[in-house]
Amino acid sequence: MTTQITQPGDTVALPVPTDLAQLDARSISAWFGDRKVLDRVSLLMPGGSVTALIGPSGCGKSTFLRTLNRMHELIPGASLAGEVLLSGQDIYDPARKLTDARKQIGMVFQKPNPFPAMSIYDNVVAGLKLTGTKASRAEKDSLVEQCLAKAGLWNEVRDRLRQPGGALSGGQQQRLCIARSLAVRPKVLLMDEPCSALDPTSTRRIEQTIAELAHEVTIIIVTHNMQQAARVSQQCAFFLAEQGIPGVIVESGLTQQIFEAPVDPRTADYVHGRFG
């Protein structure tokens, strides 16, 4: 499946994904020191769709998410086994640069983390410098408008692009972080509870943004909000860690199936609020 992304303006010399990438995690195990937190987790995350990772706190969802763009290995004492294939290519292949994985697989965190003293404009283009991507001023102007528009923020900030990103509201800051992630043209966008610190209005706008982006970037989202998982995702994976056993995927499949006709009774108990 391919998608055509229209650039505002004539020539923005930046890489644009032509195919919707899929992520395929194979037998991922993860440790913090001697403590094993994930045990042989495998999950195929289809291109051009939203996959929600659900489950109670402490079951390994966020750890799994961090393995998908090589953030887990930055934690002192952390280690992992298994493979993560991005459109068939292992991101942990020693021949691949860490920066390549980060460029192709973006991340939006639970707490909005714009550079507070940096302008809204400079926040969006910050990733270009970090990834060594060259762009003229006109290209940057076009990119800022496009990414802010995709993040649902352009109309709110177009007249104050030189004001600090830290002056925005919490919901606006989170959308700014989404725009910053989009600026380097990732194939995949990881989101770790992106709405947990936001009010209902901001949450609704972020969810709209996710729906609008899903046709051009593969999204994996961790959420504790079952209603949100049901609203935004096409596929769900239910994680669980029981009685000191490392986290595993109990069940995964189409979101409608997970919520309406789960196979495992533990899945039914969780999605219907009987625990967690």
Residue 153's closest CA among 183, 192, 193? 183
The string of pLDDT tens digits covering residues 212-271 is 999 899 999 999 999 999 999 999 999 999 888 999 999 999 999 999 999 999 999 999
Supply the range of the domain harboring residue 161.
23-271
Q: Domain tally for the chain?
A: 1
Per-residue pLDDT at 19 exceeds 80: no
In a domain, 229, yes or no: yes
| CATH classification at residue 46 | 3.40.50.300
In a domain, 6, yes or no: no
The string of pLDDT tens digits covering residues 131-177 is 778 889 999 999 999 999 999 999 999 999 999 999 999 999 999 99
**pLDDT band with cut points at 50, 70 and 90 for residue 13:** very low
How far is it, in rounded angstroms, from Cα 65 to Cα 55? 13
In a domain, 116, yes or no: yes
In a domain, 96, yes or no: yes
In a domain, 164, yes or no: yes
Per-residue pLDDT at 18 exceeds 60: no
- Let me know: does 108 contact 181? Beta carbons within 8 Å: yes
Partners of 219 in the beta sheet? 50, 189
In a domain, 195, yes or no: yes
In a domain, 15, yes or no: no
Per-residue pLDDT at 122 exceeds 80: yes
In a domain, 9, yes or no: no
